[in-house]
Chains A and B, each alone.
Chain A
């Protein structure tokens, strides 16, 4: 392993200048650059396609720039083939896991550099006890509380990220890129991640933090660089930039984050669309010890929020409503009809549309076109006797693409080729294709850029105005702001209810389970 070059004080830890990179005809970076000071946390923001991922690929040595320079602490970047050289300088925790689920945590950390036994022929054999001891020491050093014998596939997203960070540090890299680390984390886990980042920062670790969430950047970052259209358009101290300015730099024109006008409460004469009676949520793993049976109603034209962190039961409740999860004992009825427990088909038949938690797993089928994905819930409308007429399908798909402002050349494009925000719009479109009486959304804006978020939340408004009912399960305050009422869940119970106009602090306090 190569020694870490000493950082010269006068040089930024990472300096990229005038970097150009094209892929075929697409210009991914057009004279972009970044300068990151040691010991600080630097935010990199920009809309999808602004060039962030390409910059990360170049800063981690996965790709060479067409032209331009990259330097670490004043030294030019190592040769692309010198993997150890790169690893000693920079590590990246990607959105997509680089962990092997079938192997233990210890082995994942020391993959392909396993500890060897003592002399002789044993030198060629792995010493598992030594490997485990080293991994345990490493995780202890960085205060990661994970058992090294666990299979990596059994880790939560949060634990997996911590293991990946520890692994990065074990290469002696003290510059770590976090690529949307919070996309799959709930609010308390995000807070814990930030605490950890601050702790590591005190121990001399520098972060480049990529996120769609401005609020997070204001919580954790010192500096911010904004990318737009393959260039750096702004850079500065977070403390000196207004959120409005950052958004303006990202989008190119000054759009304000739309303040939603308060609207009158839904009249009690409005018909009840969703009625939940005595449903007790069951967890995927383990159980909620304090779960209580929950009852609530959502009326026509009403948006109700289910707030809560991971493990609060909000997701489980939403999944019970749409039939993804059985709910023995209680009843769920839509428009007065009782739905059988655990039947998605019955829920769809009753006019329930769902935007599930994880769009990659449950939301769309990659490899199929946008048209096929967006009309997946309504095969009966695409032709008779089970035969699908492509023209009808594409027509319906075009209408939904237009309604939702999906950025695509046409309905035949593979959904995997879309950006995260546009994929989520397709998932939303799939839920809407059914003209739902009840729309259920779980974390609808996770990992989605600012503009797409606005579009998605506007759709919620339109659905509401059309007289449908909407249930939003989320821990994002922006999602919950569209709601007429918010029920806060914690540990499988409803612990509080707020009418529109709640303050952020009281809602968060309730979500965190802080008793007043």
Chain B
């Protein structure tokens, strides 16, 4: 008892009220804010149609989610560092598109047939690196506005894909490009393993490494980050490259699953990506949010969409409902987090 008394005396002499560890607990809870919502949707889904909880359906949700999920992961890194990358959705289509263009034989589609099939994956990832470097050069090196630069890149890259494909879809992709989209390990597609693995790495890097914390510092107060000895330019540049590579990989997963690259691959995905990040508690102003939160955000969105499909909502109405869901999910996360979104 005497120990407690000493404690309380210290508290009385406190300079000011101390929000204390309650703040940390709240921050952690905010991370888990969407978990009850996810459980609720699962229950509703099961009530609507018991197929919802069948393993086939769950795998289907996770696989379609894993492709966009990588975009969400990429965008989360960029947002935490205080920037935005709109061009990710075009990279998502262009990177596998370039690989297909160089590999697929001429004739049926617009392919050039220049390179052997095994180069598909390296080319896809290399395109991601190049796009990231260009973004970095324009934003970090030349100090252009990140939002407008990546908006410009979004349009340019989309146009490039339309150009090389002639507006058509590439078919007949080499096996190497199909692997992660189609192969099953223990009955589960590789893309799901890969997506979950990358999210776990993302959680570890952002939560538990100096590099990851540097992203938060830069997004929170770039001058203070620099004063703490962080090479802010290099970190930002690296973040943009990693984000583009993740987007390329996501595109590769989708192309592999569909065994094709459509000229419109990724078109309009960026809205869902931003929505998932914000719903998951990532701030658009930088410095705030977690990879786990972003994961729950995209998972929630995809579960709701799946439930609607199972409920037999006509396809023509899905788009309108998707938009409405995002707005509702924003409201729900605003209520559960209790804080204004930024």
Q: Which residues of A pack against B, CB within 8 Å?
A: 83-84, 96-104, 107, 111-114, 124-126, 128, 145-147, 149-151, 154, 156, 158-159, 162, 192, 286
Quick one: which of B14, B16, B23, B283 contacts A151, CB cutoff 8 A? B23
A101 & B23 in contact (Cβ 8 Å cutoff): no
Quick one: which of A98, A147, A158, A162 contacts B224, CB cutoff 8 A? A98
**24 pairs, CB–CB < 8 Å, chain A vs chain B:** A83-B229, A98-B224, A99-B221, A99-B224, A100-B220, A101-B221, A101-B287, A102-B216, A102-B219, A102-B283, A102-B287, A104-B24, A107-B213, A112-B213, A124-B209, A145-B18, A147-B18, A149-B23, A150-B18, A151-B19, A151-B27, A159-B16, A162-B15, A192-B15
The contact string, 1 if C-beta is below 8 Å from chain A, for chain B 21-43, is 10110010000000000000000
Known: A147-B20, A150-B18. 6 other contacts (CB 8 A): A83-B229, A111-B228, A112-B229, A125-B208, A147-B23, A192-B15
The contact string, 1 if C-beta is below 8 Å from chain A, for chain B 210-227, is 100110110111011101
CA distance A497 to B243 in the complex (A): 64
Contact partners of B220 in chain A: CB under 8 A: 100-103
CA distance A365 to B126 in the complex (A): 45
B23 & A156 in contact (Cβ 8 Å cutoff): no
B21 & A149 in contact (Cβ 8 Å cutoff): yes
Contact partners of B213 in chain A: CB under 8 A: 103, 107, 111-112, 114, 126
Contact partners of B115 in chain A: CB under 8 A: none
B21 & A147 in contact (Cβ 8 Å cutoff): yes
CA distance A113 to B229 in the complex (A): 9
CA distance A113 to B224 in the complex (A): 14
Contact partners of A112 in chain B: CB under 8 A: 210, 213-214, 217, 225, 228-230
- B251 CB to closest chain A CB, in angstroms? 30
- B283 CB to closest chain A CB, in angstroms? 8
CA distance A83 to B27 in the complex (A): 33
Contact partners of B224 in chain A: CB under 8 A: 97-100, 111
- A212 CB to closest chain B CB, in angstroms? 24
- B274 CB to closest chain A CB, in angstroms? 19
- Tell me the B221-258 residues at the A interface (CB within 8 Å): 221, 223-225, 227-230
A149 & B20 in contact (Cβ 8 Å cutoff): yes
- A97 CB to closest chain B CB, in angstroms? 7
The 6 A-B pairs at the shortest CB distance, nearest first, are namely A100-B220, A102-B287, A111-B228, A125-B208, A149-B24, A102-B220
Instruction: Across the interface, name the chain A residue whose C-beta is closest to B216.
Output: A103
CA distance A126 to B213 in the complex (A): 10
Instruction: Across the interface, name the chain B residue whose C-beta is closest to A196.
Output: B15
B17 & A286 in contact (Cβ 8 Å cutoff): yes
CA distance A100 to B216 in the complex (A): 9
Whether B156 is near chain A, meaning CB under 8 Å from some CB there, is no
Contact partners of A102 in chain B: CB under 8 A: 216, 219-220, 283, 287-288
Contact partners of B20 in chain A: CB under 8 A: 147, 149-150
Whether B10 is near chain A, meaning CB under 8 Å from some CB there, is yes
CA distance A313 to B139 in the complex (A): 46
- B255 CB to closest chain A CB, in angstroms? 33
Contact partners of B27 in chain A: CB under 8 A: 151
A126 & B14 in contact (Cβ 8 Å cutoff): no
Quick one: which of A100, A150, A158, A159 contacts B221, CB cutoff 8 A? A100
CA distance A99 to B217 in the complex (A): 9
Whether B324 is near chain A, meaning CB under 8 Å from some CB there, is no
Most B-side CB within 10 Å, residue of A101, A102, A124, A192: A102
Whether B58 is near chain A, meaning CB under 8 Å from some CB there, is no
Main secondary structure on A side of the interface with B: loop
Q: Which residues of B pack against A, CB within 8 Å?
A: 10, 13-21, 23-24, 27, 204, 207-210, 213-214, 216-217, 219-221, 223-225, 227-230, 283, 287-288
Contact partners of B204 in chain A: CB under 8 A: 125
A103 & B208 in contact (Cβ 8 Å cutoff): no
Quick one: which of B210, B229, B287 contacts A100, CB cutoff 8 A? B287
Instruction: Across the interface, name the chain B residue whose C-beta is closest to A96.
Output: B223
- A124 CB to closest chain B CB, in angstroms? 6
CA distance A97 to B224 in the complex (A): 8
A145 & B14 in contact (Cβ 8 Å cutoff): yes
A98 & B221 in contact (Cβ 8 Å cutoff): yes
CA distance A286 to B18 in the complex (A): 13
- A248 CB to closest chain B CB, in angstroms? 37
From known contacts A125-B209, A150-B23, infer whether A100 and B16 are also in contact, taking CB-CB under 8 Å.
no
Contact partners of B18 in chain A: CB under 8 A: 145-147, 150
B15 & A114 in contact (Cβ 8 Å cutoff): no
CA distance A149 to B230 in the complex (A): 22
CA distance A159 to B230 in the complex (A): 24
- B309 CB to closest chain A CB, in angstroms? 38
- B328 CB to closest chain A CB, in angstroms? 27
A150 & B19 in contact (Cβ 8 Å cutoff): yes
From known contacts A104-B24, A111-B213, A154-B23, infer whether A98 and B227 are also in contact, taking CB-CB under 8 Å.
yes
From known contacts A125-B204, A126-B213, infer whether A158 and B23 are also in contact, taking CB-CB under 8 Å.
no
Instruction: Across the interface, name the chain A residue whose C-beta is closest to B13.
Output: A145
Most B-side CB within 10 Å, residue of A113, A147, A154: A147
CA distance A88 to B153 in the complex (A): 44
Contact partners of A113 in chain B: CB under 8 A: 210
- B15 CB to closest chain A CB, in angstroms? 6
CA distance A162 to B220 in the complex (A): 20
Contact partners of B21 in chain A: CB under 8 A: 147, 149
Most A-side CB within 10 Å, residue of B10, B20, B204, B220: B220
- B8 CB to closest chain A CB, in angstroms? 13
CA distance A237 to B204 in the complex (A): 55
- B122 CB to closest chain A CB, in angstroms? 27
Most B-side CB within 10 Å, residue of A101, A111, A149, A159: A111
CA distance A124 to B207 in the complex (A): 12
Contact partners of B210 in chain A: CB under 8 A: 112-114, 126
Contact partners of B24 in chain A: CB under 8 A: 104, 149
CA distance A78 to B190 in the complex (A): 54
Instruction: Across the interface, name the chain B residue whose C-beta is closest to A311.
Output: B16
Contact partners of A146 in chain B: CB under 8 A: 15, 18
- B52 CB to closest chain A CB, in angstroms? 37
CA distance A158 to B16 in the complex (A): 9
- A94 CB to closest chain B CB, in angstroms? 9
CA distance A149 to B228 in the complex (A): 19
A154 & B19 in contact (Cβ 8 Å cutoff): yes
Contact partners of B209 in chain A: CB under 8 A: 124-126
Quick one: which of A100, A104, A154, A162 contacts B225, CB cutoff 8 A? A100
Instruction: Across the interface, name the chain A residue whose C-beta is closest to B10.
Output: A145
- A149 CB to closest chain B CB, in angstroms? 4
- A116 CB to closest chain B CB, in angstroms? 9
CA distance A149 to B216 in the complex (A): 16
CA distance A102 to B80 in the complex (A): 11
Contact partners of B288 in chain A: CB under 8 A: 102
Instruction: Across the interface, name the chain A residue whose C-beta is closest to B207.
Output: A126
Instruction: Across the interface, name the chain B residue whose C-beta is closest to A192.
Output: B15
Contact partners of A98 in chain B: CB under 8 A: 221, 223-224, 227
CA distance A107 to B288 in the complex (A): 14
Most A-side CB within 10 Å, residue of B20, B208, B214, B283: B208
- A284 CB to closest chain B CB, in angstroms? 13
From known contacts A98-B227, A150-B23, infer whether A103 and B217 are also in contact, taking CB-CB under 8 Å.
yes
Instruction: Across the interface, name the chain B residue whose C-beta is closest to A92.
Output: B227
CA distance A112 to B204 in the complex (A): 16
- B210 CB to closest chain A CB, in angstroms? 6
